[in-house]
Protein backbone atom coordinates (compact mmCIF):
# COMPACT_ATOMS: atom_id res chain seq x y z
CA UNK A 1 0.00 0.00 0.00
CA UNK A 2 1.29 3.45 -0.86
CA UNK A 3 2.04 5.96 1.85
CA UNK A 4 -0.47 8.72 2.45
CA UNK A 5 0.30 12.11 3.97
CA UNK A 6 -1.86 11.02 6.90
CA UNK A 7 0.52 8.08 7.57
CA UNK A 8 3.37 10.56 7.64
CA UNK A 9 1.63 13.03 9.95
CA UNK A 10 0.64 10.27 12.39
CA UNK A 11 4.08 8.69 12.46
CA UNK A 12 5.76 12.08 12.91
CA UNK A 13 3.58 12.81 15.90
CA UNK A 14 3.61 9.40 17.55
CA UNK A 15 7.39 9.09 17.47
CA UNK A 16 8.36 12.60 18.53
CA UNK A 17 9.23 14.22 15.21
CA UNK A 18 6.56 16.88 14.63
CA UNK A 19 3.70 18.08 16.83
CA UNK A 20 0.96 20.57 15.99
CA UNK A 21 1.82 23.87 17.68
CA UNK A 22 0.02 24.62 20.97
CA UNK A 23 -1.89 21.41 20.55
CA UNK A 24 -3.60 21.55 23.96
CA UNK A 25 -5.47 24.57 22.58
CA UNK A 26 -6.34 22.60 19.44
CA UNK A 27 -3.31 23.84 17.56
CA UNK A 28 -2.60 26.81 15.35
CA UNK A 29 -3.07 26.37 11.63
CA UNK A 30 0.10 25.88 9.61
CA UNK A 31 2.40 26.16 12.61
CA UNK A 32 4.28 23.13 13.93
CA UNK A 33 6.76 22.20 16.64
CA UNK A 34 9.62 19.75 16.24
CA UNK A 35 9.88 17.10 18.93
CA UNK A 36 12.87 15.32 20.43
CA UNK A 37 13.61 13.30 17.29
CA UNK A 38 12.46 15.89 14.77
CA UNK A 39 14.84 18.52 16.09
CA UNK A 40 17.78 16.13 15.67
CA UNK A 41 16.83 15.31 12.09
CA UNK A 42 16.24 18.97 11.24
CA UNK A 43 19.51 20.06 12.86
CA UNK A 44 21.36 17.39 10.92
CA UNK A 45 19.83 18.59 7.65
CA UNK A 46 20.87 22.13 8.48
CA UNK A 47 24.41 21.17 9.37
CA UNK A 48 24.86 19.02 6.25
CA UNK A 49 23.63 21.93 4.14
CA UNK A 50 25.92 24.35 6.00
CA UNK A 51 28.89 22.09 5.43
CA UNK A 52 28.05 21.59 1.75
CA UNK A 53 27.68 25.31 1.15
CA UNK A 54 30.35 26.90 3.34
CA UNK A 55 32.98 24.43 4.54
CA UNK A 56 33.35 22.79 1.13
CA UNK A 57 33.54 26.07 -0.79
CA UNK A 58 36.52 28.35 -0.23
CA UNK A 59 34.55 31.32 -1.47
CA UNK A 60 31.30 30.98 0.47
CA UNK A 61 30.87 32.26 4.01
CA UNK A 62 27.90 32.35 6.35
CA UNK A 63 26.06 35.05 8.26
CA UNK A 64 23.18 35.22 10.71
CA UNK A 65 21.11 38.36 10.16
CA UNK A 66 18.13 39.58 12.20
CA UNK A 67 14.53 38.76 11.46
CA UNK A 68 13.56 42.43 11.84
CA UNK A 69 14.92 44.73 9.20
CA UNK A 70 14.55 48.38 8.30
CA UNK A 71 11.12 48.81 6.62
CA UNK A 72 12.71 50.25 3.47
CA UNK A 73 14.35 46.86 2.89
CA UNK A 74 10.99 45.45 1.86
CA UNK A 75 10.19 48.42 -0.30
CA UNK A 76 13.49 47.91 -2.16
CA UNK A 77 13.02 44.16 -2.50
CA UNK A 78 9.58 44.61 -4.03
CA UNK A 79 7.78 42.76 -1.24
CA UNK A 80 5.65 45.71 -0.07
CA UNK A 81 4.20 46.19 -3.52
CA UNK A 82 4.50 42.80 -5.09
CA UNK A 83 4.62 39.94 -2.59
CA UNK A 84 1.00 39.01 -3.12
CA UNK A 85 -0.98 35.92 -3.88
CA UNK A 86 -4.29 36.10 -5.75
CA UNK A 87 -7.05 35.17 -3.32
CA UNK A 88 -10.60 34.07 -4.10
CA UNK A 89 -13.50 33.03 -1.86
CA UNK A 90 -16.30 30.65 -2.55
CA UNK A 91 -19.51 32.42 -1.54
CA UNK A 92 -21.38 29.26 -0.53
CA UNK A 93 -18.75 27.44 1.50
CA UNK A 94 -17.08 30.67 2.69
CA UNK A 95 -13.77 28.93 2.05
CA UNK A 96 -10.76 30.83 0.81
CA UNK A 97 -8.43 29.64 -1.96
CA UNK A 98 -5.44 30.79 -3.93
CA UNK A 99 -6.70 31.46 -7.43
CA UNK A 100 -3.43 30.28 -8.98
CA UNK A 101 -3.54 27.02 -7.04
CA UNK A 102 -7.08 26.30 -8.24
CA UNK A 103 -5.89 26.70 -11.83
CA UNK A 104 -2.73 24.67 -11.23
CA UNK A 105 -4.91 21.92 -9.77
CA UNK A 106 -7.00 21.93 -12.94
CA UNK A 107 -3.86 21.79 -15.09
CA UNK A 108 -2.65 18.82 -13.04
CA UNK A 109 -6.00 17.11 -13.69
CA UNK A 110 -5.51 17.61 -17.45
CA UNK A 111 -1.95 16.32 -17.24
CA UNK A 112 -3.01 13.26 -15.28
CA UNK A 113 -5.62 12.54 -17.94
CA UNK A 114 -2.90 12.64 -20.59
CA UNK A 115 -3.98 16.06 -21.91
CA UNK A 116 -0.55 17.63 -21.61
CA UNK A 117 -1.18 20.33 -24.21
CA UNK A 118 -4.32 21.54 -22.49
CA UNK A 119 -2.45 21.62 -19.19
CA UNK A 120 0.38 23.70 -20.62
CA UNK A 121 -2.01 26.08 -22.37
CA UNK A 122 -3.89 26.67 -19.15
CA UNK A 123 -0.71 27.38 -17.20
CA UNK A 124 0.52 29.72 -19.90
CA UNK A 125 -2.78 31.62 -19.92
CA UNK A 126 -2.69 31.88 -16.13
CA UNK A 127 0.89 33.20 -16.27
CA UNK A 128 -0.14 35.79 -18.85
CA UNK A 129 -3.12 37.02 -16.82
CA UNK A 130 -1.22 37.20 -13.55
CA UNK A 131 1.70 38.91 -15.25
CA UNK A 132 -0.69 41.56 -16.57
CA UNK A 133 -2.36 41.83 -13.13
CA UNK A 134 -5.65 40.99 -14.85
CA UNK A 135 -7.47 39.65 -11.81
CA UNK A 136 -10.92 39.81 -13.46
CA UNK A 137 -9.45 37.67 -16.23
CA UNK A 138 -8.20 35.14 -13.68
CA UNK A 139 -11.70 34.86 -12.24
CA UNK A 140 -13.21 34.40 -15.72
CA UNK A 141 -10.69 31.65 -16.42
CA UNK A 142 -11.64 29.84 -13.21
CA UNK A 143 -15.30 29.98 -14.22
CA UNK A 144 -14.65 29.07 -17.86
CA UNK A 145 -12.67 26.00 -16.71
CA UNK A 146 -15.66 24.95 -14.62
CA UNK A 147 -13.60 24.83 -11.42
CA UNK A 148 -15.83 24.16 -8.44
CA UNK A 149 -15.20 24.60 -4.75
CA UNK A 150 -13.84 21.25 -3.48
CA UNK A 151 -16.12 21.49 -0.46
CA UNK A 152 -19.45 22.89 -1.67
CA UNK A 153 -19.05 21.81 -5.32
CA UNK A 154 -20.42 25.19 -6.38
CA UNK A 155 -18.77 27.73 -8.65
CA UNK A 156 -20.11 30.77 -6.87
CA UNK A 157 -16.83 32.71 -6.71
CA UNK A 158 -16.07 36.22 -5.44
CA UNK A 159 -13.69 38.59 -7.22
CA UNK A 160 -9.99 37.80 -7.13
CA UNK A 161 -8.01 40.12 -4.82
CA UNK A 162 -4.30 40.39 -4.18
CA UNK A 163 -3.27 39.48 -0.66
CA UNK A 164 0.12 40.56 0.74
CA UNK A 165 1.81 37.70 2.54
CA UNK A 166 3.99 39.71 4.92
CA UNK A 167 3.25 39.77 8.64
CA UNK A 168 3.65 43.19 10.19
CA UNK A 169 4.01 44.43 13.73
CA UNK A 170 4.98 47.62 15.54
CA UNK A 171 8.35 48.43 16.92
CA UNK A 172 8.68 50.92 19.80
CA UNK A 173 6.22 51.69 22.61
CA UNK A 174 2.77 53.04 21.87
CA UNK A 175 3.52 56.43 23.41
CA UNK A 176 6.40 57.04 21.08
CA UNK A 177 6.09 57.02 17.34
CA UNK A 178 5.64 53.33 16.80
CA UNK A 179 6.58 52.32 13.29
CA UNK A 180 5.39 49.41 11.24
CA UNK A 181 7.92 46.69 10.62
CA UNK A 182 7.69 43.30 8.99
CA UNK A 183 8.70 39.81 9.92
CA UNK A 184 11.05 38.85 7.08
CA UNK A 185 9.32 36.74 4.40
CA UNK A 186 12.70 35.48 3.15
CA UNK A 187 16.20 35.42 4.55
CA UNK A 188 17.82 36.66 1.33
CA UNK A 189 17.50 40.37 2.09
CA UNK A 190 19.61 40.02 5.25
CA UNK A 191 22.36 38.81 2.94
CA UNK A 192 21.97 41.62 0.40
CA UNK A 193 22.13 44.43 2.96
CA UNK A 194 25.32 42.86 4.35
CA UNK A 195 26.92 42.23 0.98
CA UNK A 196 29.51 44.99 1.32
CA UNK A 197 30.16 44.35 5.02
CA UNK A 198 31.12 40.76 4.26
CA UNK A 199 32.95 41.58 1.04
CA UNK A 200 35.12 44.22 2.73
CA UNK A 201 35.71 42.58 6.10
CA UNK A 202 36.41 39.21 4.47
CA UNK A 203 38.31 40.64 1.48
CA UNK A 204 36.06 38.51 -0.71
CA UNK A 205 36.60 38.46 -4.47
CA UNK A 206 33.74 38.03 -6.92
CA UNK A 207 32.55 35.33 -7.52
CA UNK A 208 31.73 34.62 -3.90
CA UNK A 209 28.71 33.57 -1.87
CA UNK A 210 26.99 34.28 1.44
CA UNK A 211 24.91 31.57 3.10
CA UNK A 212 22.32 31.86 5.82
CA UNK A 213 19.87 29.65 7.71
CA UNK A 214 16.99 31.33 9.47
CA UNK A 215 13.30 31.76 10.10
CA UNK A 216 10.98 33.37 7.60
CA UNK A 217 7.29 34.19 7.92
CA UNK A 218 4.51 34.23 5.36
CA UNK A 219 0.83 34.68 5.99
CA UNK A 220 -0.07 31.93 3.53
CA UNK A 221 -3.68 32.05 2.32
CA UNK A 222 -4.13 28.32 2.23
CA UNK A 223 -1.93 26.35 4.52
CA UNK A 224 -2.46 22.64 4.20
CA UNK A 225 -0.13 19.72 3.62
CA UNK A 226 1.63 19.63 6.97
CA UNK A 227 5.11 21.20 7.08
CA UNK A 228 5.08 21.73 3.32
CA UNK A 229 3.44 25.13 3.67
CA UNK A 230 3.81 26.80 7.05
CA UNK A 231 3.30 30.36 8.24
CA UNK A 232 6.54 30.25 10.23
CA UNK A 233 9.31 28.25 8.60
CA UNK A 234 13.03 28.07 8.09
CA UNK A 235 15.01 28.76 4.95
CA UNK A 236 18.53 27.81 3.93
CA UNK A 237 19.60 30.34 1.36
CA UNK A 238 22.81 31.17 -0.45
CA UNK A 239 23.35 34.23 -2.61
CA UNK A 240 26.21 33.93 -5.05
CA UNK A 241 27.61 37.25 -6.34
CA UNK A 242 29.01 37.10 -9.85
CA UNK A 243 30.35 39.33 -12.61
CA UNK A 244 27.46 40.47 -14.88
CA UNK A 245 27.33 38.33 -17.99
CA UNK A 246 28.55 35.19 -16.23
CA UNK A 247 25.31 34.54 -14.35
CA UNK A 248 23.92 31.91 -16.70
CA UNK A 249 26.99 29.70 -16.31
CA UNK A 250 26.73 29.96 -12.54
CA UNK A 251 23.01 29.34 -12.70
CA UNK A 252 23.63 26.11 -14.63
CA UNK A 253 26.35 25.09 -12.20
CA UNK A 254 24.27 25.67 -9.06
CA UNK A 255 21.29 23.93 -10.61
CA UNK A 256 23.44 20.84 -11.00
CA UNK A 257 25.20 21.09 -7.62
CA UNK A 258 21.96 21.45 -5.70
CA UNK A 259 20.39 18.38 -7.32
CA UNK A 260 23.50 16.41 -6.38
CA UNK A 261 23.08 17.51 -2.77
CA UNK A 262 19.55 16.13 -2.56
CA UNK A 263 20.75 12.82 -3.97
CA UNK A 264 23.65 12.75 -1.52
CA UNK A 265 21.33 12.98 1.48
CA UNK A 266 19.40 9.99 0.21
CA UNK A 267 16.57 11.30 -1.98
CA UNK A 268 16.34 8.94 -4.97
CA UNK A 269 16.91 10.34 -8.48
CA UNK A 270 13.51 9.13 -9.67
CA UNK A 271 11.76 11.17 -6.96
CA UNK A 272 13.47 14.40 -8.00
CA UNK A 273 12.93 16.59 -11.02
CA UNK A 274 13.60 20.08 -12.32
CA UNK A 275 10.71 22.36 -13.11
CA UNK A 276 11.33 25.53 -15.08
CA UNK A 277 9.11 28.43 -14.13
CA UNK A 278 6.31 29.45 -16.49
CA UNK A 279 6.09 32.81 -14.80
CA UNK A 280 9.26 34.48 -13.56
CA UNK A 281 9.20 36.33 -10.25
CA UNK A 282 9.65 40.09 -10.40
CA UNK A 283 13.37 39.80 -9.62
CA UNK A 284 14.49 36.90 -11.81
CA UNK A 285 15.75 36.37 -15.37
CA UNK A 286 15.87 32.60 -15.00
CA UNK A 287 14.36 30.30 -12.40
CA UNK A 288 14.03 26.61 -11.80
CA UNK A 289 12.60 24.54 -8.98
CA UNK A 290 13.89 21.24 -7.76
CA UNK A 291 10.80 19.18 -7.05
CA UNK A 292 10.38 16.10 -4.91
CA UNK A 293 7.67 13.51 -5.34
CA UNK A 294 5.58 13.93 -2.19
CA UNK A 295 2.57 11.69 -1.51
CA UNK A 296 0.51 14.56 -2.99
CA UNK A 297 2.61 14.85 -6.17
CA UNK A 298 5.80 16.51 -7.40
CA UNK A 299 6.24 19.81 -5.54
CA UNK A 300 8.99 22.40 -5.07
CA UNK A 301 11.57 21.87 -2.36
CA UNK A 302 14.20 24.30 -3.62
CA UNK A 303 14.32 27.29 -5.93
CA UNK A 304 17.35 28.37 -7.95
CA UNK A 305 17.02 31.89 -9.28
CA UNK A 306 19.14 34.19 -11.33
CA UNK A 307 18.22 37.47 -9.61
CA UNK A 308 20.34 39.81 -11.77
CA UNK A 309 21.30 43.02 -9.92
CA UNK A 310 17.66 43.62 -8.98
CA UNK A 311 18.11 43.58 -5.22
CA UNK A 312 21.46 45.36 -4.88
CA UNK A 313 20.43 48.02 -7.39
CA UNK A 314 17.24 48.79 -5.51
CA UNK A 315 19.03 48.84 -2.16
CA UNK A 316 21.54 51.26 -3.64
CA UNK A 317 18.72 53.49 -4.82
CA UNK A 318 16.74 53.55 -1.57
CA UNK A 319 19.67 53.62 0.85
CA UNK A 320 21.69 56.00 -1.32
CA UNK A 321 24.74 53.89 -0.48
CA UNK A 322 26.80 52.52 -3.35
CA UNK A 323 26.52 48.74 -3.64
CA UNK A 324 29.38 48.37 -6.06
CA UNK A 325 32.33 46.08 -6.24
CA UNK A 326 35.67 46.95 -7.80
CA UNK A 327 36.81 44.02 -9.89
CA UNK A 328 40.64 44.18 -10.04
CA UNK A 329 40.79 41.63 -12.85
CA UNK A 330 38.96 43.81 -15.33
CA UNK A 331 39.59 47.13 -13.58
CA UNK A 332 35.88 47.96 -13.35
CA UNK A 333 33.24 48.90 -10.82
CA UNK A 334 29.89 47.16 -11.05
CA UNK A 335 26.91 45.96 -9.07
CA UNK A 336 27.31 42.17 -9.05
CA UNK A 337 24.64 39.87 -10.41
CA UNK A 338 23.25 37.23 -8.07
CA UNK A 339 22.43 33.56 -8.39
CA UNK A 340 20.40 32.30 -5.46
CA UNK A 341 19.75 28.84 -4.11
CA UNK A 342 16.89 28.69 -1.62
CA UNK A 343 15.61 25.60 0.13
CA UNK A 344 13.10 25.29 2.95
CA UNK A 345 14.45 23.31 5.89
CA UNK A 346 10.94 22.16 6.79
CA UNK A 347 10.07 21.14 3.25
CA UNK A 348 13.31 19.26 2.93
CA UNK A 349 12.58 17.63 6.28
CA UNK A 350 9.20 16.52 4.98
CA UNK A 351 10.72 15.18 1.75
CA UNK A 352 13.37 13.23 3.66
CA UNK A 353 10.80 11.93 6.14
CA UNK A 354 8.37 10.82 3.41
CA UNK A 355 11.18 9.11 1.54
CA UNK A 356 12.41 7.32 4.66
CA UNK A 357 9.02 6.05 5.77
CA UNK A 358 8.95 2.38 4.82
CA UNK A 359 6.25 -0.20 5.36
CA UNK A 360 7.18 -3.77 4.53
CA UNK A 361 5.14 -6.92 4.78
CA UNK A 362 6.19 -10.54 4.40
CA UNK A 363 2.56 -11.62 4.18
CA UNK A 364 2.28 -12.18 7.92
CA UNK A 365 4.00 -9.40 9.76
CA UNK A 366 4.30 -5.76 8.85
CA UNK A 367 7.47 -3.84 9.59
CA UNK A 368 7.59 -0.04 9.67
CA UNK A 369 10.91 1.75 9.78
CA UNK A 370 12.54 5.01 8.74
CA UNK A 371 15.20 4.44 6.12
CA UNK A 372 17.08 7.63 6.96
CA UNK A 373 20.61 8.29 5.81
CA UNK A 374 22.72 7.52 8.93
CA UNK A 375 23.99 11.10 8.94
CA UNK A 376 20.43 12.32 9.41
CA UNK A 377 19.08 9.74 11.85
CA UNK A 378 18.21 11.28 15.25
CA UNK A 379 20.00 8.41 17.00
CA UNK A 380 23.00 6.80 15.31
CA UNK A 381 23.35 3.82 17.61
CA UNK A 382 21.37 2.11 20.37
CA UNK A 383 23.16 -0.17 22.79
CA UNK A 384 20.98 -2.98 24.08
CA UNK A 385 22.01 -5.52 26.75
CA UNK A 386 20.33 -8.88 26.16
CA UNK A 387 19.53 -9.04 29.87
CA UNK A 388 20.15 -6.61 32.71
CA UNK A 389 21.94 -9.03 35.02
CA UNK A 390 25.42 -10.59 35.14
CA UNK A 391 27.17 -7.33 34.28
CA UNK A 392 25.65 -6.99 30.78
CA UNK A 393 23.90 -3.72 31.64
CA UNK A 394 27.12 -2.21 32.97
CA UNK A 395 29.04 -3.37 29.91
CA UNK A 396 26.42 -1.79 27.64
CA UNK A 397 26.59 1.49 29.57
CA UNK A 398 30.35 1.47 29.20
CA UNK A 399 29.99 1.14 25.41
CA UNK A 400 27.50 4.02 25.32
CA UNK A 401 29.98 6.14 27.21
CA UNK A 402 32.74 5.38 24.73
CA UNK A 403 30.62 6.27 21.71
CA UNK A 404 28.44 9.17 22.76
CA UNK A 405 30.95 11.94 22.31
CA UNK A 406 31.33 10.92 18.65
CA UNK A 407 27.64 10.56 17.80
CA UNK A 408 24.28 10.34 19.47
CA UNK A 409 24.05 6.96 21.19
CA UNK A 410 21.29 5.73 23.49
CA UNK A 411 20.89 2.91 25.98
CA UNK A 412 17.77 0.79 26.28
CA UNK A 413 17.22 -2.25 28.50
CA UNK A 414 13.45 -2.12 28.68
CA UNK A 415 11.43 -5.06 27.19
CA UNK A 416 12.37 -7.98 24.96
CA UNK A 417 15.16 -7.32 22.49
CA UNK A 418 12.85 -7.64 19.45
CA UNK A 419 10.66 -4.90 20.82
CA UNK A 420 13.67 -2.72 21.40
CA UNK A 421 14.80 -3.22 17.78
CA UNK A 422 11.34 -2.15 16.62
CA UNK A 423 11.48 0.95 18.78
CA UNK A 424 14.72 1.99 17.07
CA UNK A 425 13.39 1.10 13.59
CA UNK A 426 10.49 3.48 14.09
CA UNK A 427 12.79 6.45 14.64
CA UNK A 428 15.30 5.35 12.01
CA UNK A 429 18.30 4.32 14.14
CA UNK A 430 20.69 2.71 11.64
CA UNK A 431 22.65 0.53 14.11
CA UNK A 432 21.58 -1.49 17.14
CA UNK A 433 24.40 -2.91 19.21
CA UNK A 434 23.49 -5.95 21.27
CA UNK A 435 25.54 -6.94 24.32
CA UNK A 436 25.22 -10.64 25.20
CA UNK A 437 27.06 -13.31 27.23
CA UNK A 438 29.66 -13.76 24.53
CA UNK A 439 30.54 -10.05 24.89
CA UNK A 440 31.60 -10.76 28.46
CA UNK A 441 34.00 -13.42 27.21
CA UNK A 442 35.55 -12.00 24.04
CA UNK A 443 34.58 -8.31 23.99
CA UNK A 444 32.58 -8.60 20.77
CA UNK A 445 29.01 -7.40 20.13
CA UNK A 446 26.50 -7.77 17.33
CA UNK A 447 25.57 -4.86 15.13
CA UNK A 448 22.10 -5.13 13.65
CA UNK A 449 21.60 -3.15 10.46
CA UNK A 450 18.25 -1.41 10.26
CA UNK A 451 17.40 -1.84 6.56
CA UNK A 452 18.37 -5.48 6.16
CA UNK A 453 17.97 -6.53 9.84
CA UNK A 454 21.17 -8.51 9.26
CA UNK A 455 23.54 -8.90 12.18
CA UNK A 456 27.30 -9.07 12.26
CA UNK A 457 29.68 -9.79 15.08
CA UNK A 458 32.36 -7.16 15.67
CA UNK A 459 34.95 -6.39 18.35
CA UNK A 460 33.95 -3.50 20.63
CA UNK A 461 37.22 -1.80 19.72
CA UNK A 462 36.12 -1.54 16.06
CA UNK A 463 32.62 -0.15 16.73
CA UNK A 464 33.47 3.46 15.99
CA UNK A 465 34.90 2.64 12.56
CA UNK A 466 32.05 0.29 11.71
CA UNK A 467 29.44 2.94 12.31
CA UNK A 468 29.48 5.15 9.24
CA UNK A 469 27.51 8.34 9.50
CA UNK A 470 28.98 10.84 7.05
CA UNK A 471 27.26 12.17 3.95
CA UNK A 472 29.63 12.01 0.99
CA UNK A 473 29.15 15.40 -0.56
P1 LIG B 1 5.56 28.15 -3.17
O2 LIG B 1 5.43 28.42 -4.67
O3 LIG B 1 5.43 26.72 -2.80
O4 LIG B 1 4.76 29.09 -2.33
P5 LIG B 1 7.81 29.84 -3.33
O6 LIG B 1 8.16 29.68 -4.76
O7 LIG B 1 7.09 31.03 -2.87
O8 LIG B 1 7.08 28.52 -2.82
P9 LIG B 1 10.42 30.64 -2.55
O10 LIG B 1 10.01 32.02 -2.29
O11 LIG B 1 11.22 30.34 -3.76
O12 LIG B 1 9.14 29.69 -2.50
O13 LIG B 1 11.14 30.07 -1.25
C14 LIG B 1 12.22 29.15 -1.31
C15 LIG B 1 11.94 27.90 -0.53
O16 LIG B 1 11.42 28.20 0.76
C17 LIG B 1 10.90 27.00 -1.16
O18 LIG B 1 11.47 26.17 -2.13
C19 LIG B 1 10.40 26.22 0.02
O20 LIG B 1 11.24 25.09 0.26
C21 LIG B 1 10.53 27.18 1.16
N22 LIG B 1 9.21 27.75 1.49
C23 LIG B 1 8.60 28.80 0.93
N24 LIG B 1 7.42 29.05 1.50
C25 LIG B 1 7.27 28.11 2.48
C26 LIG B 1 6.25 27.82 3.42
N27 LIG B 1 5.15 28.56 3.51
N28 LIG B 1 6.44 26.79 4.29
C29 LIG B 1 7.56 26.04 4.22
N30 LIG B 1 8.53 26.26 3.35
C31 LIG B 1 8.41 27.27 2.47
Give the pLDDT confidence score for residue 252 in this predicted structure: 97
Spatial CA neighbour of 338 closest among 214, 246, 234: 246
ipTM: 0.98
Residue nearest to atom 18 of ligand 1 (CA): 302
Give the pLDDT confidence score for residue 343 in this predicted structure: 98
Q: How far is the CA of 218 from the centre of ligand 1 (A)?
A: 9
Show the ligand 1 pocket: residues with CB < 6 angstroms.
Answer: 186, 218, 220, 229-230, 233, 235, 300-303, 342-344, 346-347
Give the pLDDT confidence score for residue 314 in this predicted structure: 97
| Average pLDDT, consecutive stretches of 10 residues, N- to C-terminus, the chain (473 residues) | 89 98 95 98 98 97 97 94 94 93 94 94 93 94 94 92 94 68 97 98 97 97 91 98 97 98 98 87 86 95 96 97 97 98 98 97 91 97 97 98 95 96 98 97 97 96 89 87
Q: What's the CATH code, domain 379-466?
A: 3.40.50.800
Q: How far is the CA of 372 from the centre of ligand 1 (A)?
A: 24
Q: Any binding-site annotation on 241?
A: no
Q: How far is the CA of 305 from the centre of ligand 1 (A)?
A: 13
Ligand 1: residue of 32, 255, 300 to mutate (most ligand atoms within 8 A of CB) is: 300
| CATH tag for 5-68+186-353 (out of 3.30.930.10, 3.50.7.10, 3.40.50.620, 3.40.640.10) | 3.30.930.10
Ligand 1: residue of 344, 349, 352, 353 to mutate (most ligand atoms within 8 A of CB) is: 344
Q: Any binding-site annotation on 438?
A: no
Residue nearest to atom 29 of ligand 1 (CA): 229
Residue nearest to atom 12 of ligand 1 (CA): 303
- Give pTM, 2 decimals: 0.94
Ligand 1 atom with the smallest distance to the CA of 305 is 11
Ligand 1: residue of 186, 286, 305, 342 to mutate (most ligand atoms within 8 A of CB) is: 342
Residue nearest to atom 23 of ligand 1 (CA): 344
> Structural domain boundaries of the chain?
5-68+186-353, 379-466
Ligand 1 atom with the smallest distance to the CA of 235 is 16
Give the pLDDT confidence score for residue 176 in this predicted structure: 60
Strands 84-89 and 325-327: unpaired
Give the pLDDT confidence score for residue 175 in this predicted structure: 58
Give the pLDDT confidence score for residue 65 in this predicted structure: 98
Q: Any binding-site annotation on 219?
A: yes
CA separation for the pair 33, 21 (Å, rounded): 5
Amino acid sequence: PSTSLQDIISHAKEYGFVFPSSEIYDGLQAVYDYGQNGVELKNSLKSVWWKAMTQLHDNIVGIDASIFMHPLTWKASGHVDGFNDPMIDNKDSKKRYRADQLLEGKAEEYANAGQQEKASALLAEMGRLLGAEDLAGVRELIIAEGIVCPISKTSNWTDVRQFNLMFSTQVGSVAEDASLIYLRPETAQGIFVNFLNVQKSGRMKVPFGIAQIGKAFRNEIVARQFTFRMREFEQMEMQFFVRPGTEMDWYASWKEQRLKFHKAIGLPAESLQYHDHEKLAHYANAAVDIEYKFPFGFREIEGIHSRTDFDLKNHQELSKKKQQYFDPEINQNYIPYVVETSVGADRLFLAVFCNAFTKESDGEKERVYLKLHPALAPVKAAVLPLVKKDGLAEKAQEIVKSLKSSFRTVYDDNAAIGKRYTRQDLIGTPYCIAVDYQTMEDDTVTIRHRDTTEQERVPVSLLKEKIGYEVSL
